[in-house]
Chain A
Amino acid sequence: MTDQSTQQPDAEPSPLVQVVGVHKYFTRGNERLDVLNGLLLDVPSGEFLALMGPSGSGKTTLLNIIAGLDKPSEGEAWVGGECISHYSESRLAAWRTRNIGFIFQFYHLMPVLTAYRNVELPLLLLPLSAAQRKQQVLAALDAVGLSDRAKHRPGQLSGGQQQRVGIARALVTDPALIVADEPTGDLDAHSAEDILDLLGELRTSMGKTIVMVTHDPHAAERADRTLHLEKGKLVTRDSTLATV
């Protein structure tokens, strides 16, 4: 996965995610809009990190950069020892398939596909046999407790169940990092609790590193650490202070 040009120079055991001096700005005509301002962030392997902040603070932009969906204007993002900031679009696409699991606020399942087929979708991009794909899909559905809903389409599932399918899809390629964008934002309180329990379980029993963007302080409480962003800068690095 790594080559010399992208190999992290640090000999010490490195965090899974490192954001080094990242600036992100957009230009609209002559106007420059700064979204992230020289951000520094380390996320150790196996951590459950919550990112909070008001709308427009840059948390989704940061998530996009960590997940290889966007590139910083300046600075670098390292994930799993690879500097992904200079990857081409197609290399990033291939990298995302193997290394990142995505969980979305609105689940974003394919409405025409069954739960099984939705979970299988990322595996279609990998060189796996049908039997291998089946084994991995069933394991992922089992991990989220939806083995009995494999043949259901998203429209036949509750919001909580759809989000579980989304989590199974994020897990199915066995990525080291899972990024979640408001995973409980569209769920009732009971379903939200279930999903947060499940995310906690992914961290504890599977050792997954999770970076979650949320507006919900209650959801953030479940994380190991909560960081607040304001105007493109991290303003708090400690979860206890963040919740004061």
Chain B
Amino acid sequence: MKSLTLVFQNIFRNKLRTTLTSLGTMMLVLVVTLVWSVLAFLDTVTSEKTANVKGIVSERWQLSSQMPFAYATSLHEGAARNPGDVRPDDAMSWSFFVGTLDPKSRASSQKLFAFALEPEKLLTMMDELDSLPSARRAEFEPVVKKLTENRQGIIVGQSRLQKTNKRVGERIKLFGLSHQEINLEFEIIGTFPPGQYDESCAIDIAYLNTALDAYPLTHNGEKHPQANKSLNFVWIKVPDQDAFSRVTDQILNSPTYSNPAVKVETAASGIASYLEAYRDLFWGMRYLLTPAILLTLSLVIANAISVSVRERHTEFAIMKVLGFRPGHILALVLLEAVLVGAFSGLVSAAASYYVVNNVYEGLKFPISFFGTFLIPEAAFWWGVAVGGGTALIGSIVPAWSACSIRVSEAFSRVT
């Protein structure tokens, strides 16, 4: 550590080169941080939990699950029929309603993708919303309350609201795309907190059901084609995996759900099934993009350190003459590189954490029903590890060349 002054002085010997190396490191660490933030979030939502397990009940044989709404009530009870049967701690019905603001256009900017659900479940069953920080929860609770009081209310994700050029308080009419001839009028009563639901909307499932029920009145008594298959999912929450297994058995053994048959998955497993379509993209991000960035980063640092070492060949020889051993010189060069890399990585991670989360309110990267990703706090150590680790790898060869210099080179000018 006595040589630390020498390390710092060498880092600042060529400020332009150190700055450029540092900026290069920051840019690449930024990309890694963004990629890993998306992957880490998806890993989290698709990893099985041991407590407060969420399960999804859906149609067994059809990927686009469409169950009769009559299933909802008993599924909320976990199909408990006998004393001693396990009942879920909480449950939520879930239907999708996709509509357009302009009946003549199917442009993405006009479309709204809404979850139809019991409004009060927004704060207890919805991922991310059930664990909001207290300040955000305090802001969102009144919005949920409005939805429970106003059946025609709609909560719109902030990014989607901006894209549709609408404002809170405006009234809108959605022409059904998922439900033909079901056109619903709404009042925009608020927005989701920034994050996972930036591109989504939430409406009261009772409003959608009422519209389906009223359909025959204007269609010669004919039911809407989706009247008997309007329930896409039922979400249940149980305390642990054992309770989940028992509720699953209760549902699967119940004769009530035979036509169509249903299946029960954990939320993690269910989400993983939905993300299956993106498998190649994730594979590419994880096994091609990330390694390519890390390799590039190592090469950038290796190049900078190599130039620096070449410039200092004589100095290293002099140090050896004075008694510095190869290990000392190796450590000096590696330490220089690792300090620059780790510091740049930390700065990059801290900046991306602040800018992405606080200025842009999340990374907009729509995947399935996830629209926005936040940079996790773990990004701080990712930055240090990626910057420092790649610097260490990239500087091994130049450092080895520095410590292998022959001491007699110091006197080589005179024979």
Q: Which residues on A are within 8 Å of B, measured CB to CB?
A: 55-61, 63-64, 67, 69-70, 89-90, 93-94, 96-98, 102, 104-106, 108, 110-113, 117, 121-122, 124-125, 169, 181-182, 185, 213
A213 to B413, CA, bound (A): 12
By a CB distance below 8 angstroms, the chain B residues around A59 are: 415
Residue of B nearest to A111 (CB): B13
**Sorted from nearest, which 8 A-B pairs have the closest CB atoms?**
A97-B323, A112-B9, A108-B318, A124-B2, A112-B13, A122-B322, A69-B407, A96-B323
Q: Is the interface of B mostly helix, strand, loop or mixed?
A: helix
Q: Are A56 and B10 in contact (CB under 8 A)?
A: no
Query: Which of A55, A113, A117, A125 has a CB less than 8 Å from the CB of B324?
Result: A125
B5 nearest in chain A by CB position: A117
B14 to chain A, nearest CB (A): 10
Contact B323 A125 (CB under 8 A): yes
CB atoms of B414 and A93 under 8 A apart: no
CB-based nearest B residue for A107: B318
User: Which one, A61, A110, A213, contacts B6 given CB within 8 A?
Assistant: A110
CB of B315 within 8 A of CB of A108, answer yes
Given contacts A69-B407, A112-B10, contact A90 B325 (CB under 8 A): yes
Are A121 and B319 in contact, with the CB atoms below 8 A? yes
Report the bound CA distance from A69 to B2 in whole Å: 25
Hey, which chain B residues are within 8 Å of A61, CB to CB? 415
- Could you say which of A59, A63, A122 has the most chain B C-beta atoms within 10 Å of its C-beta? A122
8 pairs, A vs B, C-beta closer than 8 Å: A61-B415, A69-B411, A97-B323, A102-B322, A102-B410, A108-B315, A112-B10, A125-B323
Which partner residue on chain B sits nearest A35 by CB separation? B415
Known: A60-B415, A108-B315. 19 other contacts (CB 8 A): A55-B414, A56-B415, A60-B411, A60-B414, A63-B411, A67-B321, A69-B321, A69-B411, A70-B407, A89-B325, A96-B321, A106-B413, A110-B9, A112-B13, A121-B6, A122-B323, A125-B322, A169-B322, A182-B414
Within 8 Å CB of A64, what residues of B? 408, 411
Residues of A within 8 A of B210 (CB): none
Q: Nearest B residue to A97 by beta-carbon distance?
A: B323
Distance of A182 Cα from B411 Cα, bound (Å):
10
- A108→B411 CA distance, assembly (Å): 10
Residue-wise, chain B 380-415 has the 8 Å CB interface mask toward A (1 for contact) of 000000000000000000000000000110110111
Enumerate B1-30 residues with CB–CB distance to A below 8 Å.
2-3, 5-6, 9-10, 12-13
Tell yes or no: B111 within 8 A of A by CB.
no
How many Å from the CB of A153 to the closest CB on chain B?
Answer: 10
Residues on A with C-beta less than 8 A from B318 are 104, 108, 110
A residues in contact with B12, CB < 8 Å: 112
B133 to chain A, nearest CB (A): 47
In Å, the complex CA distance between A122 and B407 comes to 15
Q: How far is the CA of A94 from the CA of B328 in the complex (A)?
A: 12
Question: Are A108 and B410 neighbours in the complex by a CB distance under 8 Å?
Answer: yes
A69-B407, A108-B314, A112-B13 given; A121·B414 CB < 8 A: no
Chain B residues within an 8 Å CB radius of A102: 321-322, 410
Whether the Cβ atoms of B414 and A213 lie closer than 8 Å is: yes
Query: How many angstroms between the C-alpha atoms of A63 and B328 in the bound complex?
Result: 25
Closest to A126 in B: B323
Once bound together, how far apart are the Cα atoms of A104 and B408, in whole Å? 12
- In the complex, the answer to whether A96 meets B322 with C-beta atoms within 8 Å is yes
